[in-house]
């Protein structure tokens, strides 16, 4: 099913942007773990809308209600079901989208597939609203991984053509993640972050939008996770990251940039470090042949500009079979990259915990 992911940790996301609620069913969580619900709330707040000028003014608390899976606050082995109720919807803003699809959205392709049965309000099941339940599942997986010494953090690598400094792929760690989680705008270089914010505000004033890139790192990962060919760690991470609306690309380690290097520059030399094999550089992004090497996993996800913009755009009337002009109504982010940072962390957490449960590697 298209809304289900995982082999050992199986998540199924349900709901539409303007339905009464959205939610997630998580099966396979290790029993006996007590999630810190206050920490989960703080994590969810990083994704929640209506917090600042560069996010949609739609206000949702994103507070999960747990219907099952916890007994006395501890995972009990039953599927964990979390519900997030929707309280601030304006469905009338989307009433014409079955006939006049928005450029850059799934309105047209949904019409081709579902023949008008789809819910168009707020983007329906294609909406970024569905990343809220993903963050519930991923937020709990983050806590479980942390208890095993595995930590995950991400930052805004770029907005438009403004670039933050990159993680040091060989030594990225807890200090970097702590800095980012405490920042209102998650970048490593505050001066470049200020430039990004200025660019986002200008795009908003112009009735336009910006995209960008999110860089994510996973540290403390043991070597040997994943499999060659179709079930490698790149495959597992990419499979869930591409479930985040607006993600259009992903690269690991040196990625596309590595194609301009010679093998002698792109290869990571091995060395012994106190009886442990490490690499002096980490162009492989912690994965070789689909299997983790023990170095940090480092990847970057490309996020397209928000397609809902205030500028007039060209579209078509499907009923009239004619060209038309349209102006999109509703409330939308001029740049969704900042709110997508915790979503990428959540997705990575689900993928890594799922792999860790292979072959009894979860100890």
Predicted pLDDT at 122: 73
CA distance 33 to 29: 9
DSSP state of 42: H
Measured CA distances, 4 to 7, 17, 145, 288 (Å): 10, 17, 21, 27
Is 306 assigned to a binding site?
yes
- Does residue 91 have a known ligand-binding role? no
* pLDDT at site 362: 59
Is 102 labelled as part of a ligand binding site? no
133 is in an annotated binding site: no
Check residues 62 and 9 and name the one with the higher pLDDT. 9
pLDDT tops 90 at residue 116: no
Mean pLDDT of 33-44: 97
Q: What are phi and psi of 249, to 5 degrees?
A: -165, 155
Q: In the predicted model, is pLDDT for residue 192 greater than 80?
A: yes
- Give the model's pLDDT for residue 119: 80
Asked whether residue 308 is marked as a ligand-binding residue, the answer is yes
The pLDDT value recorded for residue 359 is 67
pLDDT at 124: 80
Does 307 show up as a binding residue in the annotation?
yes
Crossing angle of helices 337-356 and 37-47, rounded to 10°: 140
* pLDDT above 70 for 290: yes
Q: What is the DSSP string of 51-64?
A: SSTTS-S-------
Given a cut of 90, whether residue 264 has pLDDT beyond it is yes
Write out pLDDT tens, residues 18-34: 888 999 999 999 999 99
State whether residue 160 is helix, strand or coil: coil
Collect all residues with Cβ–Cβ distance below 8 Å to 251 and sequence separation of at least 6. Answer: 299, 300
For residue range 220-250, what is the model confidence (pLDDT) as tens digits? 999 999 999 999 999 999 999 999 999 999 9
Average confidence (pLDDT) over 4-10: 96
Confidence of residue 80 (pLDDT cuts 50, 70, 90): very high
The share of the chain scoring above pLDDT 90, in percent, equals: 79
pLDDT of residue 200: 97
CATH number of 4-360: 3.60.150.10
Beta carbons within 8 Å of 113's beta carbon, 6+ residues apart: none
Residue 88 banded pLDDT, cuts 50, 70, 90:
low
Q: Nearest-CA neighbor of 86 among 57, 123, 58?
A: 58
- Residue 289 annotated in ligand binding: yes
**DSSP single-letter state for residue 257:** G
Please check if 47 is assigned to a binding site.
Answer: yes
pLDDT over 70 (residue 91)? no
Q: Is 125 annotated as a binding residue?
A: yes
At residue 50, the pLDDT reads: 64
- What separation in angstroms does the CA of 344 have from each of 39, 81, 139, 313? 17, 21, 11, 30
Q: pLDDT at position 60, please? A: 60
- 155 annotated to a ligand binding site: no
355, containing H or E segment: helix 337-356
Q: Tens digit of pLDDT for each residue in 156-191?
A: 999 999 999 999 999 999 999 999 998 999 999 999
**How does the average pLDDT of the chain come out, rounded?**
92
pLDDT of 53 higher than 80: no
Q: Coil, strand or helix: which one is 158?
A: strand
Q: Is 127 annotated as a binding residue?
A: yes
DSSP labels, 283-328? TTTTEETTEE-SSPEEEEEEEPPPS--SS-EEEEETTTTEEEEE--
pTM of the predicted protein model:
0.94
Three-state SS string over 195-227 comes to HHHHHHHHHHHCCCCCCEEEEEEEECCCCCCCC
Strand-pair category, 80-85 with 70-71: unpaired
| pLDDT confidence band for 87 (50 / 70 / 90) | confident
């Amino acid at each position: 099913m298209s809304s289900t992911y995982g082999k050992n940790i199986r998540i199924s996301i349900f709901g539409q942007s303007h339905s009464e609620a959205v939610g997630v069913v998580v099966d396979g969580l290790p029993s006996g773990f007590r999630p810190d619900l206050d920490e989960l709330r703080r994590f969810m707040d990083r994704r929640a809308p209506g917090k600042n000028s560069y996010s949609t003014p739609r206000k949702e608390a994103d507070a999960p209600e747990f219907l099952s899976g916890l007994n006395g606050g501890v995972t009990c082995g039953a599927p964990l079901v979390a519900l997030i109720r929707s309280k601030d919807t304006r469905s009338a803003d989307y009433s014409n989208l079955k006939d006049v699809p928005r450029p850059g959205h799934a309105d047209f392709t949904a019409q081709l597939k579902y023949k008008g049965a789809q819910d168009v309000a707020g983007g329906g099941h294609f909406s970024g609203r569905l990343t809220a339940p993903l963050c519930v599942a991923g937020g709990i997986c983050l806590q479980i991984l942390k208890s095993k010494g595995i930590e995950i953090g991400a930052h805004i690598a770029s907005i438009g053509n403004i670039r933050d400094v990159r993680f040091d792929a060989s030594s990225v760690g807890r200090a970097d993640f702590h800095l980012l989680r405490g920042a209102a705008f998650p970048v490593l270089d505050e001066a470049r972050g200020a430039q990004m914010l200025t660019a986002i505000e200008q795009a908003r004033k112009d009735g336009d939008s910006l995209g960008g890139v999110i860089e994510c790192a996973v540290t403390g990962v043991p070597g040997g996770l994943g499999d060659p060919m179709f079930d490698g760690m790149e495959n597992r991470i990419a499979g869930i990251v591409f479930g985040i609306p607006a993600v259009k690309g992903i690269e690991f380690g040196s990625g596309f940039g590595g194609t301009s290097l010679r093998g002698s520059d792109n290869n990571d030399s091995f060395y012994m470090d106190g009886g442990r094999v490490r690499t002096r550089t980490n162009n492989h992004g912690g994965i070789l042949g689909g299997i983790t090497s023990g170095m940090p996993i480092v990847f970057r996800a490309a996020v397209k500009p928000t397609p809902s913009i205030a500028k007039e755009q060209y579209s078509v009337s499907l009923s009239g079979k004619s060209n038309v002009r349209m102006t999109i109504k509703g409330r939308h982010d001029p740049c969704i990259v900042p709110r997508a940072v915790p979503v990428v962390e959540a997705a990575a957490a689900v993928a890594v915990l799922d792999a860790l449960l292979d072959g009894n590697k979860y100890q």
